[in-house]
Amino acid sequence: MNKLLATLMTTLIAGAAFAQTAAPVAPAVTATPAVVKAEAKAEKSVAAAVKSEAKVDAKADAKVEKAEANAVEKKTKALTKSATTKAKADAKAAKADPEDKAAAMAKADKTDAKADMKADKAVIKADTKVDTVRIKAAGDKATASAETAGAKAAAAADVKAAGSK
């Protein structure tokens, strides 16, 4: 439930950040040397912000992919270990003497249950870690996007200010 709430809150914040950005308006400014210089500087800063955002997005995606790969590996390892433990317990129970067979089967069942529980815990832990990384990645992407929008707005304001001089 906490993961769901965190994901929803991150999405809400990211959506709000995107909704807050103003549509670009063509400046009604004459092309004086100061305006041209301000526009060049603005384009450069916006390009840097976009490049930075793309870099953050790529890093976040790479982190998510790595976490997913690690989760698959951990899940496979846990399930393999569980299956091995269960097979050993069943084999041991099958080798038991006829008079001890019932007790050996009960012990094997108990071992099977413990192995399943341990594997389930490992799977849940791996999935939780992936979800956490995804949420952090979404937050990083939203922050980078908001910073880019801020850089664009600041650049537009600088060009407008240069035109009013």
> What pLDDT does 29 receive?
46
**pTM across the whole model:** 0.67
Integer Cα distance of 66 and 50 in angstroms = 24
Q: Nearest 10 degrees: CA dihedral of 139, 141, 144, 145?
A: -110
Q: Where are the domains of the chain?
A: 32-158
Integer Cα distance of 74 and 59 in angstroms = 22
Enumerate residue ranges in the chain where pLDDT < 70: 1-12, 14-30, 165
- At residue 135, what are phi and psi to the nearest 5 degrees? -65, -45
CA atoms within 13 A on the CB side of 151: 19
Integer Cα distance of 25 and 11 in angstroms = 27
